[in-house]
């Protein structure tokens, strides 16, 4: 059995909206192992994105604990958590979230610089099929191209864990398929664990495990044979 990279134990997250308290996650136990591929499946508001953010240390749980490689993430200060993210955990967001004032090349180079991975941005862009678009700004790219740059940027961090939040949510089905194919291919080549939040069963079906969330709780888990 591969080692556990990230583990959530009895994690609860409560947001305040005015005077109301919204439970985004309730008592969630979840772990991700090296070379795992997991789908977080659920409808909007089920807690998928919050769980991704908790795993990367972007959101601090209200209760419970989160460990990265056996070390409590919350015991680290903000700078140390940032270093963990830079060198171990990469995100691909629903809307690509490319840095708007950097070119495609610079977006990738910036992530490589932060992580100190030394990976070549040009090579990564060629890998995602955008060798000729390095000098384009995000505003000059299509949705699919932007998402592929986001993937290249994530790879630049040489991550052990890639967290993808609805990576095909803004794309048409053909482009979405190609993006998922690319992610799967890259996972094989670069050997990272993958967690994908999605509301589409078809996307979940491509993962080894599918964890279903409802109202902030894990309500089921399927593991492919």
Instruction: Return residues touching another protein (CB under 8 A).
Output: 15, 49-50, 53, 56, 58-59, 78-79, 82-87, 90-91, 93, 95, 97-103, 105-106, 109-111, 113-115, 134-135, 137, 153, 157
Please answer whether residues 175 and 143 qualify as being in contact, where contact means their C-beta atoms are separated by less than 8 angstroms: yes
Structure tokens at 207: 């993962």
Output the smallest distance, CB 97 to another protein, in A. 5
Identify the residue whose tokens are 């604990």. 65
CB of 207: closest distance to another protein in angstroms? 22
Q: Which is nearer to another protein, 158 or 206 (CB)?
A: 158
60 C-beta neighbours (distance < 10 Å), count: 12
Closer of 57 and 176 to another protein (Cβ): 57
Closer to another protein at the Cβ: 1 or 100?
A: 100
Rounded CA gap, 216 and 212, in Å?
Answer: 10
User: What's the min distance (Å) between Cβ of 34 and another protein?
Assistant: 19
Nearest distance from residue 55's CB to another protein, in Å?
A: 12
The three-point CA angle 143-144-146 to 5° equals 65
- The two three-digit tokens of residue 161, written as one number: 């864990």
CB 122 → another protein: shortest distance, Å?
Answer: 9
Which CB sits closer to another protein, 34 or 114?
A: 114
Alpha helices in 89-172 (DSSP H): 104-115, 121-127, 143-156
Q: How far is the CB of 224 from another protein (least distance, A)?
A: 29
**Which helix or strand (DSSP H or E) is residue 26 part of?**
strand 20-33
**Among residues 46 and 49, whose Cβ is nearest to another protein?**
49
* Distance of alpha carbon 48 from alpha carbon 46, whole angstroms: 6
Nearer to another protein, 79 or 225 (CB): 79
Residues 65/66/69/73 CA torsion (nearest 10 deg):
-100
């Amino acid at each position: 059995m591969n080692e556990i990279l990230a583990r959530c134990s009895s994690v609860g997250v409560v947001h305040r909206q005015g005077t109301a308290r919204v439970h985004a996650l309730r008592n969630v136990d979840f772990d991700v192992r090296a070379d795992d591929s997991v789908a977080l499946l659920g409808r909007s508001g089920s807690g998928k994105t919050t769980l991704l953010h908790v795993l990367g240390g972007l959101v601090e749980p209200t209760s419970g604990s989160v460990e990265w490689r056996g070390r409590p993430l919350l015991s680290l200060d903000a700078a140390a958590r940032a270093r963990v993210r830079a060198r171990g955990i990469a995100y691909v967001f629903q809307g690509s979230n490319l840095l708007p004032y950097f070119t495609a090349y610079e977006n990738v180079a910036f992530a490589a610089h932060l992580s100190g991975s030394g990976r070549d941005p040009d090579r990564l862009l060629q890998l995602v099929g955008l060798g000729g678009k390095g000098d384009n700004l995000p505003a000059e790219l299509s949705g699919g191209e932007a998402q592929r740059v986001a993937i290249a940027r994530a790879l630049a961090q040489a991550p052990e864990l890639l967290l993808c939040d609805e990576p095909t949510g803004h794309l048409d089905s053909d482009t979405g398929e190609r993006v998922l194919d690319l992610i799967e291919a890259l996972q094989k080549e670069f050997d990272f664990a993958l967690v994908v939040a999605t509301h589409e069963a078809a996307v979940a079906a491509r993962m080894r495990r599918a964890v279903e969330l409802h109202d902030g709780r894990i309500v089921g888990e399927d593991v492919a044979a």
